[in-house]
Amino acid sequence: MNNKKVIPIVSAVDDHYAPYLSVMMMTLLKHLADDVAIAFYIIDDHISKASKEKLNQVVSNQSSVIHYLEVNSDLYADVLESDHITQTAYYRISLPDLLSDKHYEKVLYIDCDVLVLEDVSKLYDTDIGENIIGAVIDPGQALVLERLGIDTDDYYFNSGLMLIDLNNWRKAGITKKTLTFLQEEEDKIIYHDQDALNAILYEKWFQLHPKWNVQTSLLFERHQPPTAEYKKLYKEAIQHPSIVHFTGHDKPWNSDEYHPYTQIYLKELAKSPFQQREVESQQ
């Protein structure tokens, strides 16, 4: 990749979400520093050949590449699903195992339902110390770890963006522990794999600035910040988001609910290889 610094970015999608993955990739590349290239690793849940061809178009003029990863779906056959959280979302739990033959020290996982507005190489370079992941607090669930049977003052994070120290994850056996929690504590699970990851990773995660995962509830200020410091950080994130994350049921492509970044998102989607035909027919 022309001696550029290579950053591994991982996401997980099925064929239905492939168009939205293209927007994440397009906007990420749009704001990337010139001396950085991306190795995209897509956990492939039956993405069609036609969709893969369109995703390849996104990186065709960039010094970046796409690799597809296959997960053992049997591990997740009995997990709790909902109308906007499918089995695919759980596959990130297996991510460090899927990259075991690579030599990355860390990897950046990003959900596909996001709009990237800043250079993610700045995020990737964050020093998370001896922690296993870096993540952003979930504003609506910040103080709910007691619900998961955890006695701690730590906060609850949103798993839609995680900067993962692969070696620390593997050494701590996080994948196996998380799968075990999903199986043995099913009655405690409300927020799917995110609950399980929080139950296993509490006090082992680094709190990233909220601007790197500006969730819908944060943008609409639906929840009180847990501290005065977080009140300041929330304000900064709302005013200058680096990544907008369309959390919850309402997405730009399926809802009329007002969201300040919906139109920006839809314009990017219209530029994607998935929407070019529709755009051209309207011109």
Mean pLDDT of all residues belonging to the chain: 88
Q: Which residue segments constitute the domains of the chain, with CATH numbers given?
A: 5-282 (3.90.550.10)
Provide the pLDDT for residue 87: 53
Whether 279 shows a pLDDT value over 60: the answer reads no
Token representation of residue 269: 């989607």
| pTM, rounded to two decimals | 0.90
Cα 89 to Cα 8: distance, rounded to the nearest angstrom: 19
Q: Provide CB contacts within 8 A for 80, sequence distance 6+.
A: 186, 189, 192
CA distance to 32, 144, 257, per residue, from 251 (Å): 25, 25, 9
Token representation of residue 55: 């995703």
pLDDT digits (tens, 9 = 90+) for 198-241: 999 999 999 999 999 999 999 999 999 999 999 999 999 999 99
Q: Looking only at Cα atoms, what is the longest distance across the chain?
A: 58
pLDDT digits (tens, 9 = 90+) for 83-135: 444 456 567 788 888 888 889 999 999 999 999 999 999 999 999 999 999 99
Closest-CA residue to 274 (of 112, 80, 33): 112
Provide the pLDDT for residue 182: 83
Of these ranges, 77-81, 242-246, 278-282, the one predicted with the greatest mean pLDDT is 242-246
Token representation of residue 65: 């590449």
Whether 281 shows a pLDDT value over 60: the answer reads no
Cα 137 to Cα 157: distance, rounded to the nearest angstrom: 4
Provide the pLDDT for residue 227: 95
Provide the pLDDT for residue 169: 95
Residue 257 half-sphere exposure toward CB, CA atoms < 13 A: 13
Per DSSP, helices labelled H in the chain are 18-30, 49-59, 95-98, 120-124, 166-171, 174-184, 192-201, 216-219, 228-239, 262-271, 276-282
pLDDT digits (tens, 9 = 90+) for 27-73: 999 999 999 999 999 988 889 999 999 999 999 877 899 999 887 66
Split at pLDDT 50, 70, 90, the class of 248 is: confident
Provide the pLDDT for residue 81: 46
Cα 178 to Cα 175: distance, rounded to the nearest angstrom: 5
Cα 249 to Cα 259: distance, rounded to the nearest angstrom: 13
Provide the pLDDT for residue 257: 78
**Residue type for 200, please?**
I
- Answer whether 142's CB lies under 8 Å from 276's CB: no
Q: Provide CB contacts within 8 A for 101, sequence distance 6+.
A: none
